[in-house]
Amino acid sequence: MTAKLSYILQSNTGQEAALRMDQDNASVLIVLDSSETPVGVVTQRDLVRSSCIENVPCNSILVQEIMSTPIVTVDPYSPVEVAADIMKQNNVRHLLVVDSDKSNKPLGIISSRDFALYIENELEEK
């Protein structure tokens, strides 16, 4: 899991999202509503699809128009296999880890890359 999370408001533009990703060296942002509640995620892939493929200037696209919602989550105490299964069942590449004891407070995010690194480490230990 990556514990460093980056956030953006759903009312921000795609260009602002791209700038935040660049500043934070992140490939995914947690999207917040006006009350700062997580409502979705936006990825580099979302930005490419919405702007480059659709030929729409990224400064005219709102994050709320391109984000993936609802957020797919997992409990921090879930086994790795459960997290992988949730990602597979929901066809997502990012899984938000939330603390269900603290009103689903985001703790981190798991990506496909995190699973690859986990498997690599497991193989090295054997």
Walk me through the domains of the chain, giving residue ranges and CATH numbers. 7-125 (3.10.580.10)
User: What pLDDT does residue 44 have?
Assistant: 93
Q: Provide the pairing of β-strand 38-43 with 73-74.
A: unpaired
**pLDDT one-digit tens code per residue, 36-62:** 889 999 999 999 988 887 788 889 999
Q: Is the full-model pTM beyond 0.85?
A: yes
Chain segment 98-114, per-residue pLDDT in tens? 987 777 789 999 998 88
| Inter-CA distances, 14 with 23, 25, 31, 47, 124, Å | 14, 16, 12, 7, 40
